[in-house]
Structure 1
């Protein structure tokens, strides 16, 4: 039985169709890269996996459970724009990751002391222990994104959802973040879904690469049909290189 099961999922906003007939099964621990042209529903799909949105039709099952009605600690998420709290110190950002399910969103007494100890351990793991008492504005882009991933990991999610997490970083920092993410994935065996516009990045990091596109298109009514998964490539063991995909699917060059 697959860990994540998406069965005949549709999504629409008003009269506008976004996704239709989306079906995919993912094993626990797999890294799934999601690519496709702008506006083809990639981020919408991620929001449904997060349970921030519910499908118009169809089911999304995690480990055999029912379709979730709201986000929970089982799912962590990191966006391109650094999703951290600017008014909190680096350490408090990680403590906050444990506090959301507490009354009034606060940890007190021994519970906070223990959470602070876990936060410091995570900061050492992600290389930010030396800036624990600083605020995010004092950090570089790469450091802020490390913090965002560390914050998401504090809740020990089974699924990590990444929406263009490295798009705003310089090339050198981006490569460092690739290594960092893969180390975390190998240590935790978490299942990862990553939306990216960088096809090479998708094939480098992903075990599989899902391509979203509209197989049907009405030039008189572009919103009539939604997108779906048109390709599911195995990127492991030096699978099909991304340049071959570009040759076969040139629309991705402008994604």
Structure 2
């Protein structure tokens, strides 16, 4: 079966139907209608504060819809995180007092939902072996006994990915995971994520501010933008998905238009950004 045939045969995993999200009177997202098949890799781009990360949080289950529906396998996304949905943030979510190996074993332990998350006996031995295997896959087999402060930024992000992967999620959520990394390290991370996507048969959603990165990775690119604007009430309308494009197929004029929308040239006379609201999103 070809990749195209496999994609067509895959079942729908995620559906959004008239999905919207508001915080009080501020509308963040509105009228989002999408279907995502199992095994797709979707990158999300858009201006800061347009709701990309909010959408990821809704998939994770730590934010709920205020309008419409967000479905996983035809049922509402659970309103709490689960082991079927792993997430990696730009800020490294690792335990500073644990070694690399202990960090990944701990992630496996927390999957049990016990009070302590501790593993014992045979269960702990199996978790350590599984963690070692995952760390080898992400290129950290030489650093099992190091502590996070002894790791470079790229190594910390590899560790965070290993923590997410060990729980065998079906969906991996990446919230600007490479934004703080140097270009050369980012290229290595791209190769790693693409390899893990194929190896673990993941469905991936990745937020990025880098349009080139968005078009380089995965299978689809979504552009989040507002279709309606009110200069007197900037938060009266929310963002929708204005473009849903196959990766690598945007003609130059469209690429430039999208790039301008998500990274507009700064004009001080028109700066109406509310830093407090934007950072909260």
Q: Do they fold alike, i.e. is TM over 0.5?
A: yes
The DSSP-based 3-state class of the residue aligned with 2:216 is: helix
TM-score of the superposition, structure 1-length normalised? 0.95
- Give the 5 Å matches for 1:78-93: 78-93=88-103
- Within 2, Cα distance between the matches of 1:116 and 1:59? 39
- Give the 5 Å matches for 1:5-154: 5-100=15-110, 101-104=112-115, 105-154=117-166
- Within 1, Cα distance between the matches of 2:264 and 2:152? 29
Q: Contact (CA 8 Å) 2:59, 2:77: kept in 1 or not? A: no
1:135-170 deviations in Å (ceiling 9; x for gaps): 111001111111101110000000000010000000
- The alpha-carbon deviation at position 130 of structure 1 amounts to 1.4
**Which ranges of structure 1 fall in alignment gaps of 5 or more residues?**
none
1:72-92 deviations in Å (ceiling 9; x for gaps): 000000011111111211001
Deviates more, 1:59-68 or 1:75-84: 59-68
Judged with a 3 Å threshold, the aligned counterparts in structure 2 of structure 1 residues 254 and 82 are, in CA distance, closer, same or farther, namely: farther
Q: Contact (CA 8 Å) 1:89, 1:135: kept in 2 or not? A: yes
The DSSP-based 3-state class of the residue aligned with 1:103 is: coil
TM-score of the superposition, structure 2-length normalised? 0.86
> How many pairs align?
252
Equivalent in the alignment of 1:212: 224
- Within 2, Cα distance between the matches of 1:138 and 1:59? 44
- Within 1, Cα distance between the matches of 2:14 and 2:98? 34
Q: Which residue, out of 235, 239, 257, partners 1:248?
A: 257
1:48-76 deviations in Å (ceiling 9; x for gaps): 01111111122211122332110000000
- The alpha-carbon deviation at position 253 of structure 1 amounts to 3.2
Q: Which runs of 4+ in 1 moved over 3 A?
A: none
Equivalent in the alignment of 1:192: 204
- Within 2, Cα distance between the matches of 1:215 and 1:103? 45
Q: Contact (CA 8 Å) 2:134, 2:162: kept in 1 or not? A: yes
Judged with a 3 Å threshold, the aligned counterparts in structure 2 of structure 1 residues 227 and 57 are, in CA distance, closer, same or farther, namely: same
- Within 2, Cα distance between the matches of 1:52 and 1:6? 16
* C-alpha RMSD of the superposition: 1.4
Equivalent in the alignment of 1:163: 175
- Within 2, Cα distance between the matches of 1:10 and 1:185? 29
